[in-house]
Each structure stands twice: as C-alpha cells, then as structure tokens.
Chain A
C-alpha cells in the first residue's frame, strides 16, 4: 500500500513568522504532486501541481519545491497571516488516474 506522509501533523506560529512543512512519498511511484489548501468549513482549493524534479512554484507568499529522487516536497509560507490558517494537503498522482492524499498539516497562525 502506497503511503503519503505529511509532517508535522499540526503547527502553531505567530503572525509574521515564516514556516514550512513536508510531504513525503515513495519516489518510485511519482507521476505528479498536488498541494491543496483546505480552510475549515470550506472545500479543498488547489494550490500547485508539480511534475518535474527541481520544480519550484510560487503563489504570493506561498511557494513549494519538489525532489522526486528522494521523494519529498516542501511547502513554504513567508510572513504567515491569520488568513493562512488552514489544513494543507499534498496528494501524489501515481499513475494515469490514481491520486493518494496525505493526512494533511494543520496550520494555525496566531495574531
């Protein structure tokens, strides 16, 4: 059974702090990696799709990097704001149509 892991499980940071978390996956099964942001009481929202080793994507204060050889992706948030509070999910696409989600990292930004 393929496993996608995320760490830490939860994170509390002060407003203005920068933070990062990790998604780990079996490198032999890589096809693409997704990052989603999921606010409480809302539905998941797509952030990035990453496909190439060394990919780096950025959207505002949020960026992500990908290492397919060692099987991990980092998500960075620069200068965290309270509105960044959410669960961040990564999802591994392992083949044409199979996607496996990680359990998520829950981020709370304290004003």
Chain B
C-alpha cells in the first residue's frame, strides 16, 4: 500500500469552529489533492498542490484553505465549519499531474453539528 495517511479519521465539530485535516505521505510524490465525497456528486476537488508552497483551487474551494510547508504534508483547513461541510474528505497523491496513477488515503469523515 502507498504511504498515505489521513488524520483524524473521524471528527465531529460544532458550527463556527476551525478544523484542520492532515494528509501525510511517505512517497515523496509532488502532487497532493483534497477531495470531498458527497452522495450523488462523486469526488469533487477542493484544492490541490503541485509542490511545496504551491497550491491552487479546485471546483469547490469556497470555505476551505490549504497549506503545504513540506513535501510530505498537505493540510486542509475549514476556517469556520458549516453544516454544508459535513462530508467525507479524501486526500490523494500522484507523481504526475492530473491524478495519473494516484493513490488515495482512507478518508476522514467530518460531521459539523
């Protein structure tokens, strides 16, 4: 299995609180991605990174920010969580751009109450 771990795996938080999810890889892959998975929508890209300190927005980036201060870690922050951000969040890594031969993490189930 590829070395990619997400933490925490489950979290319940209150509306308005900040939340940070962590994606950690040991593969030294250049590209890292955060997706959310919701019923009827498949996987939707929130943000991605193409190198240390290089990030860009995906299709559903509003309300989220990311940081990548070192190759192995990609953090997703919800500055002020809302109930619409209740979802399952997946991190992915790939050596090539465009999710070619990507590996996915196990997912983080976030519930905002």
A76 within 8 A of B: no
- Complex formed: what's the CA distance from A31 to B98 in Å? 9
Closest residue of chain B to A49 (Cβ to Cβ) is: B100
Contacts of B59 in A (CB 8 A): 100
Contacts of A46 in B (CB 8 A): 101-103
- CB <8 Å contact, A43 and B98: no
Q: How many residues of A contact B (CB 8 A)?
A: 22
Q: Name the one of A32, A44, A98, A103 contacting B104, with C-beta atoms under 8 angstroms.
A: A44
- Complex formed: what's the CA distance from A2 to B97 in Å? 19
- CB <8 Å contact, B100 and A32: yes
Closest residue of chain B to A42 (Cβ to Cβ) is: B106
Closest residue of chain B to A104 (Cβ to Cβ) is: B42
- What per-residue 1/0 map shows which CB atoms of A43-61 lie under 8 Å from chain B? 1111001000000000000
B44 within 8 A of A: yes
Given A42-B106, A43-B104, A44-B90, answer yes or no on A97-B98 (Cβ-Cβ < 8 Å).
Answer: yes
Closest residue of chain A to B43 (Cβ to Cβ) is: A101
- What per-residue 1/0 map shows which CB atoms of A85-104 lie under 8 Å from chain B? 00001010100111111111
- What per-residue 1/0 map shows which CB atoms of B33-62 lie under 8 Å from chain A? 001000011111100101000001001000
Which residues does B use to contact A, with CB under 8 Å? 35, 40-45, 48, 50, 56, 59, 90, 92, 97-107
Which residues does A use to contact B, with CB under 8 Å? 4, 31-32, 34, 42-46, 49, 89, 91, 93, 96-104
